[in-house]
Amino acid sequence: MNVDPDRIGSWDPDPVYNPTNPERVGFSIAYTIAADAAGVNQSSKGMILATFYCGYACSQVPGGWAAQRIGGRRVLLLSFVLWSLTCALVPLDPNRGMILVIARLLVGVAQGFIFPSIHTVLAQWVPPHERSRSVSLTMSGMYLGAAAGMLVIPSLVKFRGPQSVFLVEAALGAMWSILWFKYASDPPRSEHPKATAAGFGESLLPVKGNLKIKVENGGHSIRTAKIPWKRILLSLPVWAIVANNFTFHYALYVLMNWLPTYFEQGLQLSLQEMGSSKMMPYLNMFIFSNIGGVVADHLITRRILSVTKTRKVLNTIGFMVASFALMALPRFRTASGTVFCSSVALGFLALGRAGFAVNHMDIAPRYAGIVMGVSNTAGTLAGIIGVDLTGRLLEAAKIANSDISSPDSWKVVFFIPGLLCFFSSFVFIMFSTGERIFD
């Protein structure tokens, strides 16, 4: 990704940043079908589905650190190569639980480097007034990939078997890696005057050891830059981001991993026969994520609202609407009603990303990858807790009611993320800021 110095400050989103892969939703669909055919119980399914997030949690902060030290471009390439190889080489056999556990741990570790690296790269490349839509466009690629996965993968499993999903995912990862290796480049040099004026480039990287920097009188001063771990971990604005990241991913991962089971066993519907409607929740995330980014940048650029108020308004609207939609979801007993309700929930959660998810770069542009690693670790813990807890709740409901087709079996499953959305939106209102608090 080469930069034209005359275009610095007028950044164009580059689609090569979008990790548009259906890996996570693809595995949940393929494994759900294979596990149900093999008679695996809901609790065991939850454990396997949650294993990914254990590995994912372990590499979030190391991923941010590595991206800051050796560059997000290199770390992203390494991540995609590792998880693509794992997908290509591991068999999908529900009866070989240990192999699946190890494979999902490896994929989780590899993918844990992705988002901290992306935030490091974007913080270096993107000027402040374009951050909302750049982050929204970049992250929305994941939702577009999930939508494509929901549309294609059920038919792929039916005609080619569950193992074919792994091979397709590996091929997609390999193709992305080749494109990234060929076209990606390091950020613009910080000494370029337009790069400095735009507020991005290598000047946003932490500095190793002592660095001589020019001052206005022509002299030099010495600056030592270290990652302020203690300040980051004790910062209330950081914890406001952490709380909302946890909630966002709890809701997302529960729906991503268990919505196929809800359709198949809760509503007695076939995913393969539902047509294109099943992709709507993730397509809605793609649309609303980009709407949120454009609206946020418009409000900030036109000075309609401050950065702080913009982040709080969009985050609150997104999470409050999602809260009501999640708690209402088990009341819908038709395919169209469930698709509509889950689409509203996920769409408005994605709108809320223009609040909390961009806030990493508002408060700590130099350490965006590190702060993202910290908050995404919380989001990953939400996946471990939420996916496993959902499996246990459904297994208990199945023992009590003989099956999980009744609405009562699913009320608690969706009420928990709904309540979390309500709580975390208030945390963000109370403690978040759009001001830069880490130099």
Is residue 12 pLDDT above 70, yes or no? no
More confident residue, 186 or 161: 161
Is residue 355 pLDDT above 50, yes or no? yes
More confident residue, 328 or 214: 328
pLDDT at 1: 44
Give the SS3 label for residue 191. Answer: coil
438 within a domain of the structure (yes/no)? no
Q: How much of the chain exceeds pLDDT 70, in percent?
A: 84
Give the SS3 label for residue 405. Answer: coil
pLDDT at 7: 38
pLDDT tens, position by position, 313-354: 999 999 999 999 999 998 888 888 888 999 999 999 999 999
More confident residue, 150 or 329: 329
- The alpha carbon torsion through 358, 363, 367, 368 (nearest 10 deg) reads 0
108 within a domain of the structure (yes/no)? yes
Is residue 204 pLDDT above 70, yes or no? no
437 within a domain of the structure (yes/no)? no
pLDDT at 218: 43
Name the one residue in this structure whose structure tokens are 């990234």: 180
Lowest-confidence pick of 147-156, 165-174, 198-207, 221-230: 198-207
Is residue 200 pLDDT above 60, yes or no? no
pLDDT at 268: 78
Is residue 405 pLDDT above 70, yes or no? yes
70 within a domain of the structure (yes/no)? yes
Task: Supply the DSSP string of 199-238, one letter for each residue.
Answer: T-SGGGS---SEEEEE-TTS-EEEEE----HHHHHH-HHH
Whichever domain contains 380, its CATH number is 1.20.1250.20
101 within a domain of the structure (yes/no)? yes
What's the mean pLDDT when you consider all of the chain? Answer: 79
255 within a domain of the structure (yes/no)? yes
Residue 303 DSSP code: T
- The H or E element spanning position 408 is helix 408-431
pLDDT at 61: 81
pLDDT at 383: 79
pLDDT tier, 46 (very low <50, low <70, confident <90, very high otherwise) = confident
Name the one residue in this structure whose structure tokens are 């979030």: 60
Count of domains forming the chain = 1
pLDDT tier, 225 (very low <50, low <70, confident <90, very high otherwise) = low
Cα 35 to Cα 26, 44, 152, 213, 359, distances in angstroms: 14, 9, 19, 59, 39
pLDDT at 431: 96
181 contacts 320 by C-beta, under 8 angstroms: no
- One-letter amino acid at 91 equals P
pLDDT tier, 296 (very low <50, low <70, confident <90, very high otherwise) = very high
Q: 367: domain range?
A: 5-431
pLDDT at 222: 37
More confident residue, 346 or 368: 346
What's the angle, vertex CA 11, arms to CA 8 and CA 15, rounded to 5?
Answer: 140
pLDDT tens, position by position, 258-289: 887 888 788 877 766 666 777 788 889 889 98
User: What does the alpha-carbon distance between residue 301 and residue 307 come to, in Å, rounded to a whole number?
Assistant: 9
Highest mean pLDDT among 48-57, 208-217, 307-316, 360-369: 307-316
436 within a domain of the structure (yes/no)? no
